[in-house]
Chains A and B, each alone.
Chain A
Amino acid sequence: MDFLTQQAAQHADILISLAKILILLFVVLTVNAYLTWFERKVVAHIQSRWGPHRVGPHGLLQPLADGLKFLFKEDPTPAGADKFVYYLAPLLALALALTSIAVIPFGPNPLHFKGHDIYLGITDLNIGVLALFAITALGVYGVALAGWSSNSKYPLLGGLRSSAQMVSYELALTMSVVGVLLMAGSFSLREIIDGQSSAHGLFGLGGIFRWNIFAGPFPQILGFLCFFVAAVAETNRVPFDLPEAESELVAGFHTEYASFKFAMFFIAEYTSMITVSCLCSILFFGGWLSPFPASWTFATYLPSVILLPFGLWVIWDGLRYETIFGKLILPVVGVVITALGAAFLLFPAVNEFIQGPFWLLSKIFFFLFVYVWMRGTLPRFRYDQLMAFGWKLLLPVSLANVVFTAAAILRWGN
């Protein structure tokens, strides 16, 4: 036993990162699950429906049900499929998607725990952005191989499309980030965020105007638009979900996949959505930086100001909910949320600590909402339109962005 503790003492950092990994994995998967619920809800309301509301209050247990369904469904393997690759593809997709989260820092300050500084975020590579791109670049294989290995023509077409699409848009993706990299002068996400805290803001203003999207010498608005569009395409989301265009390809590359393998693709897709949202908020929207100037101290109470009413509303809503289960569970949730808000309010240290994560998460949430929003509103591209758009508009614009940024930095310094 003491041997274990001794080992633990020796390899504390390893243990810590293991713990971090487990926690993050859990969080991400849960978020994934509830992202599906969120998406369905939002889309439903966009289409003036109710969305899921049978399983649990407001259908909150729907993800659970889906998970169970995935687990217990029959899992047929198409005849003449290339077994190895057929199994490899979803694993690849999921693994890569989850890996990419690892480099993302979630907060500025370390958590002090038994003399160890525990940063939020698994690792902080000083080539973080490049690492992310490397991982996303490999992401193609999941789709392409899945499409190929199922030995069926629709998936094959889906795979072909996706590989072509992803390779094409990866260029634009990378190029659109170069502007930010030039302004930050580093690949490390952490440094990029810190740079934005001290950058020369638009009109010399602080706060939100120092984020890369607005900050001088060259506001990265173009870069952001390119990046977001390309990222959406990378993640095969609407309106770029050609690989799984149900109207043409049944279900695209994962037509032949069922049950948990399909779930893997599903999770991978949503995880990469999260990753992209993180990147957007970190690269262009100042990561964990507050949109308000530091002088506005009251802004630090914003988390509790949001959480307390929300928690109270949840309690009230739960009390007047139809089902017994709802009447029981919702108030509890509401209490928890209220307690959180109260805690932030009462313990300044805690409040100070959660500022960063709060802002970052809210931004991520915003971008996820935009994802869902787009899905709810935009029609799908035609394939040739997709290619033309990627090569003839997106890439040139992002290149122009790079050139202008470089010129501006040369002219007005950094």
Chain B
Amino acid sequence: MNVPLIVFFVLAAMCIIGAVSLILQRHPIHSALSLIVVMIALAGLYLLMGAEFVAAVQIIVYGGAIMVLFVFVIMLLNAGLEERTNVSKLAGIAGVPLAVALTGFLAAAVARSQDTVQAATQTGATAPTKALANLLFQDFVYPFELTSFLILVAILGAIVLAAPRGER
């Protein structure tokens, strides 16, 4: 039982607990907090896998921006407890079993697909951020620019959507 494995299981447990509590919590803020836990744990996992930059970005963007936005909106709309209506019979009956089945399928598929990718020799080395940057700004430069454009559009859309009626 080596240290990384222990760390992995701890973080994995955090993830799963967080996700479950995201489902079980009735108040959106609590759900949001659970999700933040999941994300931080994931960042830990990335670190464990030596993806430092991704881990940092995960926390900065997801934890520090996106989830803050969620919390902000929840506070802004003063969302109360979620009322457990059951209008949708389909979701009530078939939803959870189907989702479980999907999970099983996915787990099987993904795990099996790991055999098809011949696992390269594991150098425990951490991914140099420079290499990542080179990849991002050379091979993936067009997608990169596209995403920047996407972000711009999204900002405009958000402004248009959320601006009070008078200012639109």
Which residue of chain A has its CB nearest to the CB of B74? A148
Beyond A160-B75, A164-B72, list 15 extra A-B contacts (CB 8 Å). A85-B29, A85-B30, A88-B33, A133-B60, A133-B64, A134-B43, A134-B59, A134-B63, A134-B64, A136-B64, A138-B63, A144-B68, A160-B72, A163-B72, A167-B68
Which residue of chain B has its CB nearest to the CB of A130? B56
| Bound CA span A349–B137, Å | 47
The answer to whether A148 and B59 touch across the interface, beta carbons within 8 angstroms, is no
Residue B56 contacts which of A134, A140, A144, A170 (CB distance < 8 angstroms)? Answer: A134
Tell me the A112-139 residues at the B interface (CB within 8 Å): 125-127, 130-131, 133-134, 136-138
The answer to whether A133 and B56 touch across the interface, beta carbons within 8 angstroms, is yes
Cβ–Cβ < 8 Å partners of A82 in chain B? 27, 29
Interface size class of B (residues with CB under 8 A): 20 to 34
Cβ–Cβ < 8 Å partners of B33 in chain A? 85, 88, 145
The smallest C-beta distance from B1 to any residue of chain A, in angstroms, reads 16
The answer to whether A137 and B63 touch across the interface, beta carbons within 8 angstroms, is yes
Could you give, for residues 172-195 of chain A, a 1 whenever the CB lies within 8 Å of some chain B CB and a 0 otherwise?
001000000000010100000000
| Bound CA span A101–B52, Å | 19
Cβ–Cβ < 8 Å partners of B56 in chain A? 127, 130-131, 133-134
The smallest C-beta distance from A402 to any residue of chain B, in angstroms, reads 14
Query: Do A163 and B75 contact each other (CB < 8 Å), given the known contacts A85-B33, A125-B52?
Result: yes
16 intermolecular pairs with C-beta atoms under 8 Å apart: A82-B29, A130-B60, A131-B56, A133-B56, A133-B64, A134-B60, A134-B64, A137-B59, A138-B59, A140-B64, A160-B72, A163-B75, A166-B68, A167-B69, A170-B64, A185-B130
Cβ–Cβ < 8 Å partners of B29 in chain A? 82, 85, 145, 148-149
At the interface, yes or no: B8 with Cβ under 8 Å from chain A?
no
At the interface, yes or no: B161 with Cβ under 8 Å from chain A?
no
Query: Do A187 and B65 contact each other (CB < 8 Å), given the known contacts A137-B59, A163-B71?
Result: no
| Bound CA span A136–B60, Å | 9
Residue A141 contacts which of B36, B52, B60 (CB distance < 8 angstroms)? Answer: B36
The answer to whether A160 and B76 touch across the interface, beta carbons within 8 angstroms, is yes
Tell me the B3-46 residues at the A interface (CB within 8 Å): 27, 29-30, 33, 36, 40, 43
| Bound CA span A161–B129, Å | 34
Interface size class of A (residues with CB under 8 A): 20 to 34
| Bound CA span A140–B70, Å | 12
At the interface, yes or no: A156 with Cβ under 8 Å from chain B?
yes
The answer to whether A144 and B72 touch across the interface, beta carbons within 8 angstroms, is yes
The answer to whether B63 and A127 touch across the interface, beta carbons within 8 angstroms, is no
Q: Is the interface of B mostly helix, strand, loop or mixed?
A: helix
| Bound CA span A213–B30, Å | 43
The answer to whether A167 and B27 touch across the interface, beta carbons within 8 angstroms, is no
Cβ–Cβ < 8 Å partners of B126 in chain A? 126
Cβ–Cβ < 8 Å partners of A187 in chain B? 129
Cβ–Cβ < 8 Å partners of B57 in chain A? 130
Which residue of chain B has its CB nearest to the CB of A131? B56
The answer to whether A141 and B65 touch across the interface, beta carbons within 8 angstroms, is no
Could you give, for residues 54-95 of chain B, a 1 whenever the CB lies within 8 Å of some chain A CB and a 0 otherwise?
011101100111001101100110000000000000000000
Query: Do A170 and B65 contact each other (CB < 8 Å), given the known contacts A85-B29, A138-B59?
Result: yes
At the interface, yes or no: A159 with Cβ under 8 Å from chain B?
yes
Cβ–Cβ < 8 Å partners of B72 in chain A? 144, 160, 163-164, 167
The smallest C-beta distance from B124 to any residue of chain A, in angstroms, reads 14
| Bound CA span A160–B69, Å | 10
Which residue of chain B has its CB nearest to the CB of A185? B130
Sorted from nearest, which 9 A-B pairs have the closest CB atoms?
A: A137-B64, A130-B56, A134-B59, A127-B52, A163-B72, A137-B60, A148-B75, A140-B68, A134-B60
